[in-house]
Amino acid sequence: MKNEYLDPQLLPCHIGIIMDGNGRWAKKRGLPRTAGHKKGARVFGEIARYCRDIGIRYLTVYAFSTENWRRPADEVADLMELLKEHLRDVSNYKDENVRLLFLGDRTALDDELRDLMRQAEEGSKNNTGITVCMAINYGGRDEISRAVRSIAQKVAAGALSPDTIDENCIADHLDTRGIPDPDVIIRPSGEKRSSNFLAWQSAYSEYVFMDILWPDFTPNDLNQALLEYTKRSRRFGGVG
């Protein structure tokens, strides 16, 4: 399934994906929105394995945003239960050689989900195939706010000098500390906005927007997005 036109040396180190369109996919088929989320979860697993197999080092997916709490309570409950189902068997991640990390504010999540997240991180910490970051109760602005509060507390305690606060300092207080910024962010579903995803980290990311709903997304679609990425000239403010 690998695309023969993709140069492995040009592939990104870190891919971000906004997994969008589950509800619309279900509605088009006369199904409950939960069916779209379940299909989307299966697609996520397939895409994560494919990224691992072609040598992508980091994959970050937008699973549940800070704004998603505004959805109907029963849909939120179904989403949380779906997340728990995928985290209950930590041994799967050992078999898949996937290291799991979680981004976002965990304080609003229930004890069971927080414990499953902790177990998944601990149980997969030695895996080397790919690092998959799942953004749960995550928002880019919220992440930056939490980082600033942490820095302010250290300054107030005398543990950090204001003169030492720079971009690296802020990055070290984000949920993604130690992880390279995403080279490319892919958004299926036809929407063309970032939706508060990796607001700090995406400053120089390339964006690829695609007119396909996430549950229909395949490795071939990822190949097309990566092919588009390899054609871009990344100048980072310099002259190309």
Q: Binding site residues for substrate, as ranges?
A: 21-25, 33, 37, 65-67, 69, 71, 187, 193-195
Please give the Cα distance from 28 to 116 (Å, whole number). Answer: 33
The set of catalytic residues is 20, 68
What's the length of the chain? 240
Q: Is 231 exposed, middle or buried (0-12, 13-18, 19+ CB in 10 A)?
A: exposed
Look at residues 15, 18, 16 and name the one whose alpha carbon lies nearest to residue 190: 18
Q: What is the arrangement of strands in the sheet containing 184-187, beginning at the earlier edge strand?
A: 98-103, 130-138, 58-65, 14-18, 184-187, 206-209
Report the binding-site residues: 20-25, 33, 37, 65-67, 69, 71, 187, 193-195, 206
Tokens of 54: 């072609």
Report the binding-site residues for Mg(2+): 20, 206
List, as one string, the DSSP characters of 181-236.
Answer: PPSEEEE-SS--S-TTSSTTTTTT-EEEE-SS-GGG--HHHHHHHHHHHHT----T
